[in-house]
């Protein structure tokens, strides 16, 4: 059938949306719905192979089978690559739902094979952080440093940093005709790539994006 990625919101709202899509009921687990969570810290190839076996077993009464990964951002690169063919062509009567804070936490090849659904609900902290951003897009350097010092939650994890940048981009992309905004948003896209693909110092990476030379 098809594969879906749910992003945005928080882990509870993303999972709730997945449950609505799958008409989740506890007694359906291990029959027509399978939840895959990280073992220790990550979701590896072994778990993906087990999930694929589940999808290929015919469902009870020929109703849809659902595979849900509430923390798909925990998939290893190897597991994501192993999952590509199944995501592109799920078995008949099966739906795969990946939940992740941000699509940039998944490989582009994964994202391109899925339908994207964005949970519009943003955390109160993220909303307040964006509303209090200093003089966008002309940031006085001293205000930028103070801003990130006062909003430590934004650089406590990759998830938080990417969510902040994604939400900032959403809030200001309507002003893309403004050249200064357009140039800055290009920097944001570059920063998201750096955060996703490396283990850089998140606070320093964010500050460098906003500091003016």
pLDDT, position 174: 65
Query: CA of 106: how far to CAs of 37, 164, 171, in Å?
Result: 16, 17, 22
Whether domain 2-119 has CATH 1.20.1250.20: the reply is: no
- Phi-psi group of 9: left, alpha or beta (phi > 0 → left; psi -120 to 50 → alpha; rest → beta): left
Q: Rounded to whole angstroms, how far apart are CA atoms 207 and 141?
A: 9
Name the pLDDT band for 1 (thresholds 50, 70, 90).
Answer: low
- pLDDT band at residue 179 under the 50/70/90 scheme: confident
**For the residues 172-187, what does the mean pLDDT come to?**
73
Mean pLDDT of the chain: 82
DSSP notation for 7-73: EES-HHHHHHHHHHHHT--GGGBTTTEEE---BTTBB-HHHHHHHHHHHHSPPGGG--EEEEETTGG
Lowest pLDDT segment from 9-18, 22-31, 109-118, 185-194: 22-31
3-class SS shares of the chain: helix, strand, coil, % to 5: 55, 15, 30
Mean pLDDT of 3-29: 82
Provide mean pLDDT across the span 133-161.
78
Structural domain spans, the chain: 2-119, 124-210
pLDDT for 99-146, tens place per residue? Answer: 998 888 899 999 999 999 987 665 545 555 555 565 655 667 888 888
- pLDDT at residue 43 above 60? yes
């Amino acid at each position: 059938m098809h594969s879906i990625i749910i992003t945005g919101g928080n882990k509870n709202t993303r999972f709730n949306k997945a449950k609505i899509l799958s008409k989740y009921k506890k007694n359906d687990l291990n029959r027509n719905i399978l939840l895959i969570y990280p073992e220790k810290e990550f979701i590896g190839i072994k778990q993906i192979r087990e999930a694929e076996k589940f999808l290929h077993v015919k469902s009870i009464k020929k109703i849809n089978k659902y595979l849900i990964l509430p923390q798909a951002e925990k998939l290893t690169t190897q597991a994501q690559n192993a999952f590509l063919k199944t995501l592109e062509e799920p078995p008949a009567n099966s739906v795969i739902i990946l939940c992740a804070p941000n699509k940039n936490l998944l490989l582009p090849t994964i994202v391109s094979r899925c339908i994207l659904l964005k949970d519009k609900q943003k955390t109160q902290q993220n909303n307040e952080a964006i509303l209090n951003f200093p003089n966008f897009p002309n940031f006085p350097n001293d205000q930028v440093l103070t801003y990130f010092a006062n909003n430590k939650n934004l650089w406590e994890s990759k998830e938080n940093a990417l969510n902040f940048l994604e939400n900032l981009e959403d809030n200001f992309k309507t002003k893309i005709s403004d050249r200064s905004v357009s140039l800055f948003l290009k920097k944001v896209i570059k920063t998201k790539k750096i955060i996703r693909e490396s283990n850089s110092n998140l606070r320093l990476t964010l500050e460098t994006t906003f500091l003016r030379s």
